[in-house]
Structure 1
Amino acid sequence: MTQSTTMPISHRRKMAIYGAVLVGMFMAVLDMQIVATALPTIAADLGKLELFGWVGASYLLATAAVTPFYGKLGDLFGRKRVFMVAIGLFVVGSLACGLAWSMESLIAARVLQGLGGGGLMTSAFGILADLFEPRERAKYQGYSSAVFTVSGLIGPVAGGFIAQAIGWEYIFLINLPIGLGLIALLAMVMPNFATGRQPKIDYSGGLLLAGAVTALVFWAEEALGGGYGGVMVYLLPLVVIAAAAAFVLVERRAAEPIVPLHLLSNSTIALSLIISVISGVATLGMLNYFALFLQTVTGLPPAFAGLLFLPSSVGSLVASVGTGFLVSRTGRYKPYPVASMALGIAVMLAFSTVNAATPIWLIGVLMFFFSVSIGLQMQTLMVAVQSTAPRQDVGAATGTLTLARMIGASLGLAANGGILTAGLLRGQAGISPETLAAMPGKMTEMTPSVIATLPAAAGQEVVSVFAAAFSMVFYSGAALFAVGLICALFIKNVKLQSHGKAPSRAPERQAVLAE
């Protein structure tokens, strides 16, 4: 029989919990990164390059759909149980991915994996909110951002190497021992924070929100040229509007709304959500396409293309950890999303000029600053939202912000894929008859391995078409960053209050320890 005893958490215990949470976050984020450079290899093995983007989008879409549930479940039941269930789902999904026999089965397995991945990231940030006060939290969330950086450092290189050396299946199967070991560790060291609330789950609200997000992502794919077109372009917006309207009506009456609507009345939270959607489209939603971009335009094999993600990882590390310390020291967070959006505009415009003749070192510099723009805003917006939301809604607010990012990333994978596909089809209409004769299929079927088999002149022309198509993707990213900059300028320039002279000595929280 399980008994609960209330006990304070020592600093050493906090650090042990924090380390365990970082491992879980690392596992989820690594799987977003490690698949990037392996996707062209997966497409060459399983076929159907037109489904390329959905290997990533399905994971992010499932993550976005369940994120609000995890935030609320953590608020109601305690984050230990929820976190461990999420790890279990993620491990089962990883096994299914490793056993996939077709692109469709892999996409389905990625959905299952995403059902767990959404809980890993949302619960991790919620646990940090339980452990640390706002200014102290900024520092530790800066460290948490380093997890994104390390995964970005290891993921693309490891994904390309594993896919090239022993098979792409193992980029998923590697999660099994990590996940099982983490479950055992958390069972021993992590307490379950008491909530003192009666669990009432807003299932109808969550399902309506998931339906609206799913229809929106499919519409982006259809409308921008990557899908099947036709009547769905006109039908899906009606589904989105109907589901969103019903969601608002349900949330107004729900005892425990999945997304408390009163949070949206706060301008800081509302603007942070908008910026997160925008940055998700322009950054996370572009990650997998960077791998395709590098392998097609530069002609590098997967393992070497992954090395170009190293400068990106360094940029994210410098920006995220640095801003974490600065926010902790000064209490100010507004300058960083403003700088992030401005830098994003410049980097996207610079990327639009990259072609087959661009030096590799210059691409590395652009990758560095691309991730600096991510690191400047990701954790500072989380601090802004968590410090503004009422204490009882911190988990829901955290989940809502994570949801916004995942919606943006899912939209980005679908929309950027549509823009790229439309650009490739336009480019195909202008290439020479000789190149058309040498191509074994349509431009949208040209994987890096296929391009490598073409005659030199034909290969160069195909690469030029890819470069021009990617330029349109980058132009759209610059426009989104410009909208994000306007939003960031309107965030209130408040100063976080320090709890005592030494933030690391914040008052201890109470926890329920299962014995």
Structure 2
Amino acid sequence: MVSLRPSENDPLIPRGSPPLTNNHEVPKSADLRRPASGPLEISRSTRYGILAGIWIANFLSTLNQTLVPTMLPSISSEFNQSNQASWLGTSYLLATCTFTPLYGRLCNVLGRKGAHQTALTFTGLGILLCGFSRNMETLILARFLSGIGGGGLLTTSSIVVSDMYSMRSRGLTQSIASIFGGMGLGFGGPFGGIITDWLGWRWAFLLQLPLFFISFGLTSYNLCYVTPGKGKSAKEVLKRIDYGGSFSLLLTVGSILLFLSARYNEGLPWSNTMVIVSLVTASISCVAFFIMELFVAREPVLAPFLLKQKIPVLVGMSNFLVASCNFSIIYFFPMWFQVVLLTNASTAGLHLVPNSVGLSLGSVFAGYMMHKTGKYKMINAVFGCLPFISTVMIASLREDSGPYLSWLCIAPLGFGNAVVLQTMLIALLVRLPESQMAVGTGFGQLFRGIGQVGGVAISSALFQAKLDTELRRRIHRPDAEELILKIRQSARLVNTLPLDLRKKAQESYAVSINAVFVFAACCTMLAYLVRVPIPDKDLDSQPKQQDAAPAEESGPSSLAPSINDPFIDSPDEAVENEDDDGQHILPGAVPHRRLSAFESVDSVMDLESDLVGESARKTGAHSSPRKNRTTKIDK
């Protein structure tokens, strides 16, 4: 007969009971009546419901990145501000690259569900305002608002997938997620063009709203798993957000965009006040950003410790150049057919479909190969050259180019860049412990976001400067100055010009767009050269996350890898375990500054607020340590 009487061998705190807090009190927010499931313990149907919700949101986010290019002639002609049309793309991407890093911390404060639905709300509200905008300024502001949430959707979905899958399965899962992203990038142009021709450009925004409600409903019902770690109040976590770094980054990128727009899109002279002020502001805020990140911010957005390692820096540079190439092509490829060949918006947008197909196939291919072989370098080296081949073919387009070249030249770009982005993400994450996955993800996305903004802004400035030069070289008449300005402000005006002037305008547009394609080719070639030194690494070698231990038992702080850390390929890449003053951290000591805004002091994700996210846990009663990460893709 088994005795139920406790003995001296029984633990003081029974297994499964909530741990005591620092004040030795059970948190009031702990819900002991509701059984909690970790990300590895949820059912298959729940997991698929979560993936469906976040992947629909991914589709909407990427769709809005490429929705505008085929709509630009219609929008700019309605508002008669074609030279400001590039802001419709750059405002969205500016908000995306600036606010994306903050969502790693919001995942801690609001929970995975709360952060994801916050991003979804911003995006949906911005889309709604876009559909009802009555002037260019309001439309640009609405695009910025939707961009605040757009980047967050990609970040939160990446974190959720990292919660639910192992490193090897994660590559395949992320590749499936990239299908939805690829569909959004590829079908944004055709969708915008077709809807613009049929119903008007406003409906291209408004017709997206039902999908927002579907995504919101799926995540509300399914995204309720809990995450392990110590509980932190929302107030404590919000204090650690790098507001100074985020604001200085926004001011830096925004000022650069304003400078490029004033100097090249508007054609203002160097002595103009707007040009001088924007350039000076960009320089000062850029210096302020690096000072904040390197010396001031408690949890910097940039993750400076990764800048000391070769592989993250190379991956960041590759992401920047690949994104610059992608968005230079996506924003100007449809314009070639609309202005040079005088096709309608629907036909111009459909020319982006091969890019979408290539993105989807490349993502699945890269994910499958990495899942099958556990390697990534060979497929990157072989298929990473396809974007350069594609951009060279695109740059060779002429008015008499055959249908095969004009329709298929963009397909290798999508396939090759999908392979590159998938393999580079895994190449970065496989060298980090699981406690730093969000750090690595945010680091790569930050460079990718800046590259997207830079690609649109630089290519637009290059295009406008070249177009102005070409038009002035060809048009010589008394009203040439006024006519050139009108042609630059309204692309649709080209089709209404007299035959002789129309031919000159088409030639000017063709040369200017071709200059953008050459710029994209240079970016993708440089990106390939940057990736060559990145070594291969077995994906099965990723060590597992260790259970969080008390400070007095955990030894030196685990915030920075040591020279003997198995995540580091060589001692040169190791980050010494020192504080800001270069002093070694004693066992149990807490460093003054942490890796980035994505990293918690406990080397695990902080628990979220139980008031909003519903995916938080203040107790360890149902904790699911991530020490058995062998979940299959179809679990």
Normalising by structure 1, we get a TM-score of 0.90
2:291 alignment partner in structure 1: 249
Higher helix share: 1
Aligned positions of 1:182-201 closer than 5 A:
182-194=215-227, 196=229, 198=232, 199=237, 200-201=240-241
Among 54, 66, 84, the alignment partner of 2:99 is 66
User: How far does the alpha carbon of each residue in 1:230-275 deviate from its partner, in whole angstroms, 9 at most, with x for none?
Assistant: 2555654554443343333333444333232112223222111111
Over 3 Å counting, the alpha-carbon distance change for 1:483 and 1:154 in structure 2 is: closer
- Asked if residue 26 in structure 1 is aligned to residue 59 in structure 2, the reply is yes
- Asked if residue 158 in structure 1 is aligned to residue 191 in structure 2, the reply is yes
User: How far does the alpha carbon of each residue in 1:416-467 deviate from its partner, in whole angstroms, 9 at most, with x for none?
Assistant: 1111111111111221547987995536436443222223343222211111
2:18 alignment partner in structure 1: none
Q: Which amino acid aligns with 1:349?
A: V
Over 3 Å counting, the alpha-carbon distance change for 1:452 and 1:223 in structure 2 is: closer
1:393 alignment partner in structure 2: 436
Q: CA contact under 8 A between 1:333 and 1:493: conserved in structure 2?
A: yes
Q: Which amino acid aligns with 1:280?
A: A
Over 3 Å counting, the alpha-carbon distance change for 1:194 and 1:48 in structure 2 is: same
Among 36, 58, 79, the alignment partner of 1:6 is 36
Q: CA contact under 8 A between 1:282 and 1:477: conserved in structure 2?
A: yes
Q: CA contact under 8 A between 1:435 and 1:458: conserved in structure 2?
A: no
Over 3 Å counting, the alpha-carbon distance change for 1:285 and 1:393 in structure 2 is: farther
1:407 alignment partner in structure 2: 450
Deviation of 1:319 after TM superposition, in Å, equals 1.3
2:354 alignment partner in structure 1: 311
Deviation of 1:131 after TM superposition, in Å, equals 1.4
Equivalent-residue separation in structure 2 for 1:75 and 1:493 (angstroms): 32
Among 456, 459, 474, the alignment partner of 1:431 is 474
- Asked if residue 127 in structure 1 is aligned to residue 160 in structure 2, the reply is yes
Equivalent-residue separation in structure 1 for 2:323 and 2:246 (angstroms): 21
- Asked if residue 149 in structure 1 is aligned to residue 179 in structure 2, the reply is no
| Structure 1 gaps, min length 5 | 501-508
2:375 alignment partner in structure 1: 332
Q: Which amino acid aligns with 1:327?
A: M
Q: Which amino acid aligns with 2:247?
A: L
2:525 alignment partner in structure 1: 482
RMSD (CA atoms): 2.8
- Indicate the larger mover: 67-76 or 125-134: 67-76
Q: CA contact under 8 A between 1:341 and 1:481: conserved in structure 2?
A: no
SS in structure 1 of the partner of residue 36 of structure 2: strand
Among 202, 211, 218, the alignment partner of 2:258 is 218
Normalising by structure 2, we get a TM-score of 0.74
Deviation of 1:293 after TM superposition, in Å, equals 1.9
**Structure possessing the higher radius of gyration over alpha carbons:** 2
Over 3 Å counting, the alpha-carbon distance change for 1:282 and 1:409 in structure 2 is: same
Deviation of 1:73 after TM superposition, in Å, equals 2.3
- Asked if residue 296 in structure 1 is aligned to residue 296 in structure 2, the reply is no
Aligned positions of 1:106-125 closer than 5 A:
106-125=139-158
- Asked if residue 230 in structure 1 is aligned to residue 270 in structure 2, the reply is yes
Deviation of 1:496 after TM superposition, in Å, equals 1.0
1:378 alignment partner in structure 2: 421
SS in structure 2 of the partner of residue 452 of structure 1: helix
Among 246, 269, 278, the alignment partner of 1:206 is 246
Over 3 Å counting, the alpha-carbon distance change for 1:433 and 1:208 in structure 2 is: closer
| Structure 2 gaps, min length 5 | 1-28, 544-604, 609-613, 618-635
User: How far does the alpha carbon of each residue in 1:89-123 deviate from its partner, in whole angstroms, 9 at most, with x for none?
Assistant: 11111111111111111101111111111111111
Over 3 Å counting, the alpha-carbon distance change for 1:426 and 1:383 in structure 2 is: same
Q: CA contact under 8 A between 2:47 and 2:222: conserved in structure 1?
A: no
Report percent identity of matched pairs: 25
Q: CA contact under 8 A between 2:324 and 2:453: conserved in structure 1?
A: yes
The number of residue pairs the alignment matches comes to 507
Among 209, 213, 235, the alignment partner of 1:176 is 209
User: How far does the alpha carbon of each residue in 1:263-290 deviate from its partner, in whole angstroms, 9 at most, with x for none?
Assistant: 2223222111111111111112431222
Q: CA contact under 8 A between 1:66 and 1:118: conserved in structure 2?
A: yes
Q: CA contact under 8 A between 1:351 and 1:366: conserved in structure 2?
A: yes
Among 407, 410, 417, the alignment partner of 1:367 is 410
Deviation of 1:146 after TM superposition, in Å, equals 0.8
Aligned positions of 1:81-92 closer than 5 A:
81-92=114-125
1:419 alignment partner in structure 2: 462
Q: CA contact under 8 A between 1:273 and 1:404: conserved in structure 2?
A: yes
User: How far does the alpha carbon of each residue in 1:158-212 deviate from its partner, in whole angstroms, 9 at most, with x for none?
Assistant: 2111111111111111232221332222111102542535422222222222222
Equivalent-residue separation in structure 1 for 2:138 and 2:527 (angstroms): 36
Equivalent-residue separation in structure 2 for 1:276 and 1:303 (angstroms): 30
Q: Which amino acid aligns with 2:36?
A: T
2:76 alignment partner in structure 1: 43
Q: Which amino acid aligns with 2:288?
A: A
Q: Which amino acid aligns with 1:408?
A: G
Deviation of 1:12 after TM superposition, in Å, equals 3.5
Q: CA contact under 8 A between 2:263 and 2:270: conserved in structure 1?
A: no
Q: CA contact under 8 A between 1:349 and 1:475: conserved in structure 2?
A: yes
Q: Which amino acid aligns with 1:481?
A: T
Among 261, 267, 273, the alignment partner of 2:304 is 261
